[in-house]
């Protein structure tokens, strides 16, 4: 079982090596390098940046992420349910519908509260 | 494709020479990875050239015509070489470790998804038993890389682009996953080859056994979400050239930028390959070789993606969220419920 994932590990490692090889070996040999202070400034269409970008982030991003986590966790259960669905029959259908309806009530609540509005 | 027997003989040969068992196996695996990286590079270069040609012809232009002779076929190769020769600029205010790590995360994540793409019978790197769940899980890592790029650049455009990208990716991932559950309910397996083999027969004796025939709504939801997941028009708010000057990778230059570009086109291929596998019967098809069918269907979907780019205008960010949460998500649930009910009524219990 675990041996099946040898390829996954290898792909991730080779992905890392491929990027490093291209940027820090192959390209480094042939590309020019003459940095100047102006060249290394933050790009903002020619203006000097005022303030940094690491600001407080608007709450709406947080709300959507929270909704995402709710449904992402749920889909993990749904995958397992979908595989064994045929052997479980009506029982599985009713049980999962109860589960989904509870979640949809949550979605409806968020909708009614205006959490799904991007304002 | 070599048979398992030939592979065993190959391993036995090395063992007879007293070389540790891991060496020949690692050599074969590295060979496979190299083939996949080669495929990704060639496919991305072809796609970039193809996209430029299609875009040009839709707008009654010619597009690249000079490099390489016939219709500028070598344009992407020339562009790649140019990017290799470009100076590497890391802004002084950037968060260096994060800035450098971001392209690695994005590329490694998109490369790892190719492990379970079924190009043909036997032409799959490793047929994991959680195939489709694995792809969905790994491709989510791309978002982490994008946020790292936006954060590490210490640039306002990049930060905004990354945040928007993350919000969009997480929003569209939910209906995407749920739309895939309808077909999976019918197949009853997450293994990619099982999904393709399920679609081998016919529906009612005349229609192809593809799941798009019985799951058209799921396909539409999936494809819409796939376009959004890859930040393509009309859902390209994270990159919006006209306001964010291309978003999270604005500070990246030369080869670092090329890696992002490569990963983006690799991801486009992956989402279309999933659509082909799950909805369009994968490698199934008459006359032609299976891998030809697989590539034909996938590239057709990629063509549709490029076509959409020049047909639809960019949506506003509130419309984007509206579509994901208030239209696609309820529809995906309705589709799942109806599919579940129909499977229950129509198929014999077993």
Question: Does residue A86 lie in a domain region?
Answer: yes
pLDDT of residue B171 exceeding 80: yes
Which residue(s) pair with B202 in the sheet?
A: B208
B270-277 mean pLDDT:
93
pLDDT of residue B260 exceeding 50: yes
Residue B81 CB neighbour total at 10 angstroms: 12
Question: Does residue A60 lie in a domain region?
Answer: yes
Question: Does residue A72 lie in a domain region?
Answer: yes
| Contact call for residues B215 and B302 (beta carbons, < 8 A) | no
- Are the Cβ atoms of A68 and B111 closer than 8 angstroms? no
- Residue of B155, B188, B341 lying closest to A43 (CB–CB): B155
In three-state secondary structure terms, B246 is coil
Please list every residue in chain A whose beta carbon sits closer than 8 Å to the beta carbon of residue B177: 72, 75
User: CB neighbours of B238 closer than 8 A, spacing ≥ 6?
Assistant: B146, B161, B162, B164, B165, B168, B231, B244, B247, B248
A10 touches chain B (CB under 8 A): yes
pLDDT in tens, chain A (119 residues): 677 888 899 999 999 999 999 888 888 888 888 888 888 888 877 777 777 777 778 888 888 888 888 888 888 888 888 888 888 878 888 888 898 898 889 889 988 988 788 77
Question: Does residue A40 lie in a domain region?
Answer: yes
More confident residue, A51 or B258: B258
pLDDT of residue B1 exceeding 60: no
Report the mean per-residue pLDDT for chain B.
87
pLDDT of residue B139 exceeding 60: yes
Q: Which of residues 29-88 of A touch B (CB under 8 A)?
A: 30-35, 37, 39-45, 49, 52-55, 57, 61, 64-65, 67-68, 71-72, 75, 78-79, 82-87
Please list every residue in chain B whose beta carbon sits closer than 8 Å to the beta carbon of residue A5: 126, 128
DSSP annotation string for A35-98: --TTTTSPPSTTSPP-S-S--PPPHHHHHHHHHHHHHHHHHHHHHHHHHHHHHHTHHHHHHHHH
Give the chain B residue nearest A50 (alpha carbons): B156
Number of residues that this document lists for chain A: 119
pLDDT of residue B186 exceeding 70: yes
User: CB neighbours of A86 closer than 8 A, spacing ≥ 6?
Assistant: B188, B343, B347, B349, B350
Question: Does residue A95 lie in a domain region?
Answer: yes
B211-225 mean pLDDT:
91
Distance from CA of B125 to the nearest CA of A (A): 8
| Contact call for residues B115 and A60 (beta carbons, < 8 A) | no
What per-residue confidence (pLDDT) applies to B350? 43
Question: Does residue A30 lie in a domain region?
Answer: yes
Q: Which range marks the domain in which residue A36 is found?
A: 2-112
Tell me the whole-structure pTM to 2 decimals.
0.90
pLDDT of residue B223 exceeding 90: yes
Structure tokens at B240: 């919006």
Distance from CA of B168 to the nearest CA of A (A): 9
Question: Does residue A118 lie in a domain region?
Answer: no
- Are the Cβ atoms of B91 and A45 closer than 8 angstroms? no
Question: Does residue A119 lie in a domain region?
Answer: no
Give the chain B residue nearest A100 (alpha carbons): B333
- Residue of B151, B190, B347 lying closest to A79 (CB–CB): B190
- Domain count along chain A: 1
CATH number of residue A97's parent domain: 1.20.58.1610
pLDDT tens figures, B76-95? 899 988 988 888 888 888 88
A96 touches chain B (CB under 8 A): yes
């Amino acid at each position: 079982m675990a041996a099946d994932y040898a390829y996954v590990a290898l792909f991730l490692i080779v992905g890392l090596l491929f990027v490093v090889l291209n940027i820090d070996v192959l390209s480094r040999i042939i590309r020019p390098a003459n940095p100047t202070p102006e060249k290394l400034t933050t790009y903002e269409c020619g203006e000097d940046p005022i303030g940094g970008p690491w600001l407080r982030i608007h709450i709406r991003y947080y709300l959507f992420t929270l909704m995402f986590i709710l449904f992402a966790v749920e889909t993990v259960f749904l995958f397992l349910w979908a595989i064994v669905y045929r052997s479980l029959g009506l029982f599985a259908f009713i049980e999962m519908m109860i589960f989904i309806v509870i979640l949809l009530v949550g979605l409806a609540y968020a909708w009614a509260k205006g959490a799904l509005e991007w304002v | 494709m070599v048979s398992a027997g030939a592979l065993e003989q190959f391993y036995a040969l090395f063992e007879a020479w007293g070389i540790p068992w891991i060496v020949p196996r690692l050599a074969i695996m590295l060979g496979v990875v190299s083939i996949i990286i080669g495929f990704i590079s060639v496919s991305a270069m072809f796609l970039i050239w193809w996209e430029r040609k299609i875009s040009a012809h839709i707008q009654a232009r010619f597009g690249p015509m000079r490099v390489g002779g016939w219709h500028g076929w070598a344009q992407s190769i020339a562009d790649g070489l140019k990017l290799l020769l470009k100076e590497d600029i890391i802004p002084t205010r950037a968060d260096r470790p994060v800035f450098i790590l971001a392209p690695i995360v994005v590329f490694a994540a998109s490369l790892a998804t190719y492990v379970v793409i079924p190009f043909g019978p036997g032409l799959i790197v490793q047929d994991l038993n959680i195939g489709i769940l694995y792809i969905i899980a790994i491709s989510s890592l791309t978002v982490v890389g994008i946020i790292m790029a936006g954060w590490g650049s210490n640039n306002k455009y990049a930060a905004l682009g990354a945040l928007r990208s993350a919000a969009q990716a997480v929003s569209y991932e939910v209906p995407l996953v749920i739309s895939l559950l309808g077909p999976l309910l019918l197949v009853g397996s997450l293994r990619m080859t099982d999904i393709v083999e399920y679609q081998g027969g016919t529906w009612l004796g005349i229609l192809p056994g593809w799941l798009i025939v019985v799951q058209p709504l799921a396909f539409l939801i999936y494809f819409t979400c796939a376009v959004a997941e890859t930040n393509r028009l009309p859902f390209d708010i994270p990159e919006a050239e006209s306001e964010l000057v291309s978003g999270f990778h604005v500070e990246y230059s030369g080869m670092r930028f090329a890696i992002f570009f490569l990963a983006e086109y690799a991801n486009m291929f992956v989402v279309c390959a999933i659509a082909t596998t799950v909805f369009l019967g994968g490698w199934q098809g008459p006359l032609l070789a299976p891998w030809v069918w697989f590539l034909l269907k996938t590239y057709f979907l990629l063509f549709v993606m490029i076509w959409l780019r020049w047909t639809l205008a960019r949506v506003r960010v509130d419309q984007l969220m509206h579509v994901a949460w208030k239209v696609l998500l309820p529809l995906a649930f309705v589709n799942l419920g109806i599919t579940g009910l129909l499977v229950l009524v129509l198929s014999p219990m077993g």
